[in-house]
Structure 1
Amino acid sequence: MSVDVTWLGHSTVTVDVRDTTGDTGGDPAGRLRIVTDPVLRAGLAHLRRRPRTPDPSASAGCDLALVSHLHHDHLDLPSLRRLRPAVLVTPPGASDWVRWRLRLPATRVLEVAVGGTAELELAGGAVRVSALPAHHAGHRTGSGLSRAPRDARAVEHLVRVPGAFPARAETDLLLWAVGDTGEFEASDAVLDAAGRAPDVALVPVGGWGHTLGPHHLDPRQAAELVARVRPVHSVPVHWGTLHPVALSRTMGDRFVDPGPRFVEHARRLGVPGAVHLPVGGRLTLDGTGQGTR
């Protein structure tokens, strides 16, 4: 088995758990494909994408899609229509609205309450998804027009994939998709939920505008979070991808600095495993959970 973590830009990451022992029959994901906060097009609302739009093959065959909250840069309805995940996990209070907007059956859309866990039977096997608290607004801008629920919450997700690392004693993959959050007292709740440090953390380190605003992490704050949780591998996301319309040239170093700065801060804090990936870059973990680039 091996695990591929590929950053497609902003908060969109594919995590592929592959069976390397035999032929996968041409399945792009091999055994199991997870996609976080899918934004797969060149622009949405007032935002535009600077890097190239991901090739459809980079997210095709999605078994499980995770949406952390209803902001347009995390829940993009056209991207979800294109992605067509087998199962879509929404934040609390949002599943009925998402199901209505996407015209999907109830069996393909579910929400997980904060502190709760869902047991999923996917084509690639059993997966457990837990929802953790986040310090971030969860409502959708313009919810009055779209009829989106105003009380939907933002969450982090912890995904457990059994048997992903057969060459070590703890065979499960623990994936921590932070989504978007600011600093708060229970920011390390993932440790209690997981029982140990996650194998992979997808950590927000920036944003899409000229300022971060409240309830976000900058590179230093994100590094301090991983220093408390100490995931085996941490990948900076939520940066270097989107910008407001016509303001690309004014973004300056916001497109290039947050990821490397996060890695630098993490190393200063003595945290190994922080990896800066370019858009489209991949981190591969072998059967022991060790990473290669």
Structure 2
Amino acid sequence: MSVDVRWLGHSTVTVDVRTPGGSLRVVTDPVLRPGLAHLRRRPATPDPAAWAGCDLALVSHLHHDHLDLPSLRRMRPTVLVTPPGSSDWVRWRLRRPATHVVEVAVGQTRELPTPCGPVQVTALPAHHAGHRTGSGFSRAPRGAEAVEHLLRVPGAFPGRDLDDLLLWAIGDTGEFAGSDAVLAAAGRAPDVALVPVGGWGHTLGPHHLDPRQAAELVARVRPGVSVPVHWGTLHPVALGATMGDRFVEPGRRFVREASRLGVAGAVQLPVGGSLSV
């Protein structure tokens, strides 16, 4: 049995889980195109083999760089978990009846069927705007929230005392009181954390984590493996040459800061790179 984590760029990560009951492919915040809205992608677009056959997609909020409808239509996940207050709109815009669209409210846990058996998804609070830019034109719900997701996959580690896989997909957030709520929800530290450490622009506002803040968060939670995401991929149109070291430094700095704080398991992946847990 194994768990493989592959970073496809920005906040898009594929997690493949093989259990005695079967296999499961999870993809977070899928963005699979060379450009969207006012953003362009510098690394190559992901190989379809890295995301095809998605059983469960987790979307943290409605921003274009996290909820990309063309990518979701192309990927056709079997189950799509959307942020609170958005499932009806996503279902309408997605136009994929074969995809089961559900939403999970903050503090709520839902059990979902998958090829390897039932899994549980819990929504946790995030300090980030959840509405969609241009919602007046797209009719997107203005009250949609941004959330983090905790995924529990039973039986992923047979023979271990605690054999569940706990995946913490943070999505996007800034610092806030209770940012370590995942510990209470999970009952222990997660096995894998997908941690935002940057952004796509020249500055970060208070609703984002920089590498130091991200390292301080994982120092409080102590996940088994922490992978920096939400960096090194997108840039505004015509401003790619002005991004400086933002395509290389945030991930490196996160790993350095985590090491300084005595956190083991912080691993920077190249776009398209993977690790096994």
When normalised by structure 2's length, the TM-score is: 0.98
Counterpart position of 1:217: 209
Counterpart position of 1:40: 32
Shift of 1:148: 0.1
Counterparts of 2:119 and 2:52, CA distance in 1: 19
Counterparts of 2:58 and 2:99, CA distance in 1: 15
Counterpart position of 1:130: 122
Counterpart position of 2:69: 77
Counterparts of 2:140 and 2:90, CA distance in 1: 8
Shift of 1:104: 3.5
Tell whether the 8 Å contact from 1:93 to 1:153 is kept in structure 2 after alignment: yes
- Partner SS state of residue 176, structure 2: coil
Q: Which letter does structure 2 place at the counterpart of 1:80?
A: L
Deviation digits for residues 141-180 of structure 1 (CA, Å, limit 9, x no counterpart): 0000000000000000000000000131110000000000
Counterpart position of 2:45: 53
Q: Which letter does structure 2 place at the counterpart of 1:264?
A: R
Counterpart position of 2:181: 189
Tell whether the 8 Å contact from 2:73 to 2:96 is kept in structure 1 after alignment: no
Counterparts of 2:212 and 2:176, CA distance in 1: 15
**Structure 1 residue 268 and structure 2 residue 260: aligned?**
yes
State the number of aligned residues.
277
Tell whether the 8 Å contact from 1:99 to 1:106 is kept in structure 2 after alignment: no
- Partner SS state of residue 128, structure 2: coil
Counterparts of 2:257 and 2:220, CA distance in 1: 13
Gap runs ≥5 in structure 2: none
Shift of 1:18: 2.2
- Partner SS state of residue 264, structure 1: helix
Tell whether the 8 Å contact from 1:69 to 1:152 is kept in structure 2 after alignment: yes
Counterparts of 1:111 and 1:120, CA distance in 2: 11
When normalised by structure 1's length, the TM-score is: 0.93
Counterparts of 2:75 and 2:221, CA distance in 1: 32
Identity %: 82
Counterparts of 1:199 and 1:78, CA distance in 2: 31
Give the CA RMSD over aligned residues.
1.3
Tell whether the 8 Å contact from 2:60 to 2:146 is kept in structure 1 after alignment: yes
**Structure 1 residue 12 and structure 2 residue 4: aligned?**
no
